[in-house]
Chains A and B, each alone.
Chain A
């Protein structure tokens, strides 16, 4: 075709990115890769390899080692061996290494981008302009955290050896999100890249060598799910960080339940993209392009549920269809292509199956007439309209270029529809009214909310989800905390086994008329309640002498308590000042009754401890009254013109199984931070002295405390914790007990992936202020929501 003809057609023509250098790099390695362990290429023990392919062409790119448990063991050992020296190096030296890695990523940016596109199928524009620059940015930012570690995180220590498992959708970027904070905090790492996309991780391993990173600080083990499983289960790993599917996240939660491994999960999503009638509709359409057609929609936070205000639904859809028709689908290496290849046949099958099911359920499917390449794994951008919340395409994560559109009438309905999901990763809100946008953003159950924007990421801003989208944050200060633990916590000894006093002969002295029988009840929804079972349990003092009965709560009482707690959700919306007032008032009323409460408690704990518990208990309430309006969030500094607000939000309903050993102080040390932050609580008091509940609720009842904010169900912790852990409407579970109790909490929590906070079977000295109160508790009582608000006129 001549230039004259091209002048007439004004087509774009091909614009291929040269993949020569990336292929030469593969050739240099003979197109075969071992693991990277202790700074060296490491042949797989079983001599097994698997292929990694270019999804756009089907071409085999290389053979990659299949990691066996033996290989994982070698890698964990290498990381463990490297740990002492790495920690001794100190913050500044570690900062230098991270800085060098940032620089090296930039120096090899194009080769890494091309390699990523070859292995993953994403358009070169994205790997070149989004993935790789963000990788470099992540290492720069965390070079900074490495440098500032001691000033900014005093009293914290790294977890140790960290096992990290990452997905195939942003292979090198997810590696950076995992490795940079881990190293900055002083951990060493064993990382398993996704089976479909291992190449850039192996290229990164070479950069580690080039940077002179000490051997064993970063280890890469390639393989499939079984390799990941071996890593998760390895006893030498102190923390697991996982990004991937919710199902695998659940399995990891269960698999690590009996260990003391710290865990962070970044899982799936079905993120809403909400467009109000006063939005800039053309810009919202571009937002959708960035939201659901970035990386072929294979993005955990993809805006896959379009919620449109009814009045603008038709014009918006018309604009959207027109825009979809201009999306260019083709070779991911073409610089002017918008939609590349789907990563693997299994993923393409899943997309096709879910769309077919959505259509069978009544959705109308629209795809632009753009032809697909003859070979390779491609799927067109797809719009499903007439979708209802009941449809599978409105509920399940498709992980493909498929948008499900629905309408709403009012902001309240938008929020309701948006939150009608088991997920809670991200959300996008489009409105020209700052009132509407922020009002809605505040109500969304999502870890990230983008106002008039979408899919913005930065190392300075935490990323992570609510609900079954996982827990923990990546990026920013909140992300660093995932790789750190309080030093005192690491040093705490194992908790001694709790002993309930054995029955002894009654020693109650009879003098004249008997004391009036005292009946302690459950406390649900601000009212005293008899237990559903109609049974009571005996309570004995330290000598084993019977003190009286306590009600025996069961699963139905827990159900009722959770319902009451959920109804009291407005507590979280009350002002922090208001919560502080209530807490102070509780302290005031508590103080008035201090002597009698201490006297009763003394029968169990002895006079000295009882008095200490009461005295410190009042102080603790004061502390959290003080904290209520001071545990505030942050404004982050990403390199955009916008305000990124990191808000500490309450988690919701928190189940709390109190430690047996300090009946009063234990209860207050856990319940007070939870409610100070706006959560509502279902508490199971100390099994050793549950009668404390009777004193507590009488104080609550006189303190203007809204009913249902704290509910108390007395009973056997080992039983009640199961109901709490499995309850889908409990958002977090706190458990301070022995290893077995903690393990039960963690394992059963997997059903809805609620956040679990335990003492990890350690003995925590609640009488010690450093261990018994403060930010560590508040951090567990909140989740961070990052709201991005670009501005400009």
Chain B
């Protein structure tokens, strides 16, 4: 379930004399929020990723795990609770955003909620993700729901506007009430192996975020090699990202399981080395209920059940909810459903 108030995450600003709060556990070890660390280039350069082996693991992982019946329904509900319901189109309007927010509050038809016996859960999605322009609209529309508003920022999706403007954009979104900021990195820094510049940029964004939660979008479809993905993940975490996120949804390929595997393994390694937990958000290209189950299984296998919460894991998706609704109706009624039977987002 999403956090009901905007205070459940650690930030640089929150560091104080108290023992760090535990936000996740890995193999029995408690983990605190990510406070970042100095750039460690040895670590970055030591990242090894064997593409064929990673692809093989990704292929077989989803054939090794499956959930059926009530368990499947529960997992699909979990997917909804971890969803950043997203609209990032040139034709977005305030009304379109309000409609999305309404769906975020009530992602499932009430009769399905009752049939599934989950009324007590007050199921909502985790966040609504919009451009800066619509942050205030969304904040108003979601008031009292506990649903976060996430803004894409920092020159989304290309990340190529001047740094000062990107930082200012983040500040503006936070001031407008965004709880979460999805920033994009300068992919060129990765191609050039300019890890210091990448680190500095992300650290600057993180500072600008203040108390808001920062998700660092790596643009994995642009980075192309899995080794680049692995290295960029490490740098983003060192620079203080609360989440690392695969894609903008605008690259030629978006979230793939091999990319997810590389990023989750990087998160695991970082947690083991530093005792700090970083969240993960695959985004783009995730459209079906089956895919959501595959991703949840990947997270459970690679990071453990502690990451299967909105605090640590998000789906960036717009179309996936519709398919999950159909599957849940099938689960509840035994009959296959149709998309027009479910209210539009």
Partners in one complex: yes
Q: Interface of A with B (CB < 8 Å)?
A: 1-4, 6-7, 10-15, 125, 129, 278-284, 286-287, 290, 318, 322, 325-326, 335-336, 338, 430, 432, 452-453, 641-642, 790-793
> How extensive is the interface on chain B, given as a class?
35 or more
Q: Roughly how many angstroms separate A290 CA and B60 CA in the complex, as a whole number?
A: 10
Is B53 touching A790 in the complex (CB atoms < 8 A)?
Answer: yes
CB proximity of B65 to chain A, nearest CB, Å = 5
Is A15 touching B68 in the complex (CB atoms < 8 A)?
Answer: yes
Is B73 touching A3 in the complex (CB atoms < 8 A)?
Answer: yes
Is A793 touching B118 in the complex (CB atoms < 8 A)?
Answer: no
Is A280 touching B48 in the complex (CB atoms < 8 A)?
Answer: yes
Is A3 touching B117 in the complex (CB atoms < 8 A)?
Answer: yes
Besides A7-B118, A13-B68, A641-B52, 5 more A-B contacts (Cβ < 8 Å) are A2-B70, A10-B305, A280-B48, A283-B54, A452-B53
Q: Roughly how many angstroms separate A247 CA and B21 CA in the complex, as a whole number?
A: 61
Cβ-based interface call for B110 (8 A): no
- Point out the residues of chain A lying under 8 angstroms from B117, CB to CB: 2-4
Is B70 touching A280 in the complex (CB atoms < 8 A)?
Answer: no
CB proximity of A527 to chain B, nearest CB, Å = 50
Q: Roughly how many angstroms separate A524 CA and B41 CA in the complex, as a whole number?
A: 59
Report if A336-B74 is in contact (Cβ < 8 Å); known contacts: A10-B300, A641-B52, A790-B53. no
CB proximity of B271 to chain A, nearest CB, Å = 11
Report if A7-B78 is in contact (Cβ < 8 Å); known contacts: A15-B66, A338-B64. yes
Q: Roughly how many angstroms separate A547 CA and B211 CA in the complex, as a whole number?
A: 105
Cβ-based interface call for B189 (8 A): no
Cβ-based interface call for B55 (8 A): yes
Cβ-based interface call for B143 (8 A): no
Is A125 touching B78 in the complex (CB atoms < 8 A)?
Answer: no
Q: Which B residues from 71 to 94 make CB contacts under 8 A with A? A: 71, 73-75, 77-78
Report if A3-B116 is in contact (Cβ < 8 Å); known contacts: A10-B305, A283-B54, A790-B53. yes
CB proximity of B113 to chain A, nearest CB, Å = 11
Is B64 touching A283 in the complex (CB atoms < 8 A)?
Answer: no
Is A125 touching B63 in the complex (CB atoms < 8 A)?
Answer: yes
- Point out the residues of chain A lying under 8 angstroms from B65, CB to CB: 12, 336
Among A125, A283, A322, contact of B53 (Cβ-Cβ < 8 Å): A283
Is A279 touching B48 in the complex (CB atoms < 8 A)?
Answer: yes
- Mostly, the B contact residues are helix
- Residue contacts A-B, CB under 8 angstroms, 16 given: A7-B77, A10-B308, A14-B68, A15-B66, A15-B67, A125-B63, A279-B50, A280-B53, A282-B265, A283-B49, A286-B56, A336-B66, A453-B53, A790-B52, A790-B53, A792-B52
Interchain Cβ contacts within 8 Å, total number: 103
Cβ-based interface call for B333 (8 A): no
- Point out the residues of chain A lying under 8 angstroms from B120, CB to CB: 4
Q: Roughly how many angstroms separate A4 CA and B75 CA in the complex, as a whole number?
A: 10
Q: Considering only CB atoms, which chain A residue lies closest to B258 in the complex?
A: A792
Among A7, A287, A452, A453, contact of B121 (Cβ-Cβ < 8 Å): A7
- Point out the residues of chain B lying under 8 angstroms from A790, CB to CB: 52-53, 56
Is B73 touching A287 in the complex (CB atoms < 8 A)?
Answer: no
Report if A452-B50 is in contact (Cβ < 8 Å); known contacts: A3-B116, A11-B71. yes
- Point out the residues of chain B lying under 8 angstroms from A125, CB to CB: 63-64
- Point out the residues of chain A lying under 8 angstroms from B54, CB to CB: 280, 283
Q: Considering only CB atoms, which chain A residue lies closest to B75 in the complex?
A: A10
Ranked nearest first, the 7 interchain pairs of A and B with the lowest CB-CB distance are A13-B71, A283-B53, A790-B52, A6-B74, A280-B50, A792-B51, A280-B48
Cβ-based interface call for B335 (8 A): no
Among B51, B74, B116, contact of A10 (Cβ-Cβ < 8 Å): B74
Interface centre among A282, A432, A453, A641 (most CB of B within 10 A): A282
Is B52 touching A452 in the complex (CB atoms < 8 A)?
Answer: yes
Is A642 touching B52 in the complex (CB atoms < 8 A)?
Answer: yes
Is B66 touching A283 in the complex (CB atoms < 8 A)?
Answer: no
- Point out the residues of chain B lying under 8 angstroms from A290, CB to CB: 56, 60
Is B70 touching A3 in the complex (CB atoms < 8 A)?
Answer: yes
Q: Roughly how many angstroms separate A452 CA and B57 CA in the complex, as a whole number?
A: 12
- Point out the residues of chain A lying under 8 angstroms from B118, CB to CB: 3-4, 7
- Point out the residues of chain A lying under 8 angstroms from B64, CB to CB: 125, 336, 338
Q: Considering only CB atoms, which chain A residue lies closest to B1 in the complex?
A: A7
CB proximity of B242 to chain A, nearest CB, Å = 22
Q: Roughly how many angstroms separate A278 CA and B74 CA in the complex, as a whole number?
A: 41
Is A322 touching B52 in the complex (CB atoms < 8 A)?
Answer: no
- Point out the residues of chain A lying under 8 angstroms from B70, CB to CB: 1-3, 6, 13
- Point out the residues of chain B lying under 8 angstroms from A278, CB to CB: 48
Question: Beta-carbon contacts of B112-148 to A below 8 Å, as 1s and 0s?
Answer: 0000111011000000000000000000000000000
Report if A322-B48 is in contact (Cβ < 8 Å); known contacts: A2-B117, A286-B53. no
- Point out the residues of chain B lying under 8 angstroms from A282, CB to CB: 265
Among A336, A338, A432, contact of B48 (Cβ-Cβ < 8 Å): A432
Q: Roughly how many angstroms separate A453 CA and B57 CA in the complex, as a whole number?
A: 11
Among A286, A336, A338, A641, contact of B57 (Cβ-Cβ < 8 Å): A286
Cβ-based interface call for B291 (8 A): no
Cβ-based interface call for B27 (8 A): yes
Q: Roughly how many angstroms separate A793 CA and B225 CA in the complex, as a whole number?
A: 6
- Point out the residues of chain B lying under 8 angstroms from A642, CB to CB: 52
Is A283 touching B116 in the complex (CB atoms < 8 A)?
Answer: no
Report if A432-B50 is in contact (Cβ < 8 Å); known contacts: A3-B118, A322-B27. yes
Cβ-based interface call for B301 (8 A): yes
CB proximity of B234 to chain A, nearest CB, Å = 13
Q: Considering only CB atoms, which chain A residue lies closest to B52 in the complex?
A: A790
- Point out the residues of chain B lying under 8 angstroms from A322, CB to CB: 27
Cβ-based interface call for B18 (8 A): no
Q: Roughly how many angstroms separate A198 CA and B64 CA in the complex, as a whole number?
A: 26
- Point out the residues of chain B lying under 8 angstroms from A10, CB to CB: 74-75, 78, 296, 300, 305, 308
Cβ-based interface call for B172 (8 A): no
Question: Beta-carbon contacts of B28-63 to A below 8 Å, as 1s and 0s?
Answer: 000000000000000000001111111111001001
Is A13 touching B69 in the complex (CB atoms < 8 A)?
Answer: yes
Report if A453-B74 is in contact (Cβ < 8 Å); known contacts: A14-B68, A15-B66. no
Among B50, B69, B305, contact of A283 (Cβ-Cβ < 8 Å): B50
Q: Considering only CB atoms, which chain A residue lies closest to B304 in the complex?
A: A326
Q: Roughly how many angstroms separate A432 CA and B118 CA in the complex, as a whole number?
A: 49
Cβ-based interface call for B227 (8 A): yes
- Point out the residues of chain B lying under 8 angstroms from A129, CB to CB: 60, 63
Q: Roughly how many angstroms separate A608 CA and B57 CA in the complex, as a whole number?
A: 69
- Point out the residues of chain A lying under 8 angstroms from B55, CB to CB: 792
CB proximity of B76 to chain A, nearest CB, Å = 10
Report if A326-B301 is in contact (Cβ < 8 Å); known contacts: A3-B118, A12-B65, A338-B64. yes
Q: Roughly how many angstroms separate A362 CA and B78 CA in the complex, as a whole number?
A: 47
Q: Which B residues from 241 to 278 make CB contacts under 8 A with A? A: 265, 272
CB proximity of B50 to chain A, nearest CB, Å = 4
Q: Roughly how many angstroms separate A790 CA and B53 CA in the complex, as a whole number?
A: 8
Among B51, B63, B66, B71, contact of A6 (Cβ-Cβ < 8 Å): B71
Q: Roughly how many angstroms separate A3 CA and B114 CA in the complex, as a whole number?
A: 12
- Point out the residues of chain A lying under 8 angstroms from B49, CB to CB: 280, 283
Q: Roughly how many angstroms separate A793 CA and B226 CA in the complex, as a whole number?
A: 7
Q: Which B residues from 271 to 318 make CB contacts under 8 A with A? A: 272, 296, 300-301, 305, 308
- Point out the residues of chain B lying under 8 angstroms from A452, CB to CB: 50, 52-53
- Point out the residues of chain A lying under 8 angstroms from B305, CB to CB: 10
- Point out the residues of chain A lying under 8 angstroms from B57, CB to CB: 283, 286
Q: Considering only CB atoms, which chain A residue lies closest to B264 in the complex?
A: A282
CB proximity of A282 to chain B, nearest CB, Å = 5
CB proximity of A657 to chain B, nearest CB, Å = 47
- Point out the residues of chain A lying under 8 angstroms from B296, CB to CB: 10
Interface centre among B57, B69, B74 (most CB of A within 10 A): B74
- Point out the residues of chain B lying under 8 angstroms from A279, CB to CB: 48, 50
Is B77 touching A791 in the complex (CB atoms < 8 A)?
Answer: no
Interface centre among B54, B68, B121 (most CB of A within 10 A): B68
CB proximity of B21 to chain A, nearest CB, Å = 21
Among A3, A338, A430, contact of B74 (Cβ-Cβ < 8 Å): A3
Q: Roughly how many angstroms separate A4 CA and B123 CA in the complex, as a whole number?
A: 11
Is A287 touching B53 in the complex (CB atoms < 8 A)?
Answer: yes
CB proximity of A441 to chain B, nearest CB, Å = 15
Q: Roughly how many angstroms separate A21 CA and B66 CA in the complex, as a whole number?
A: 21
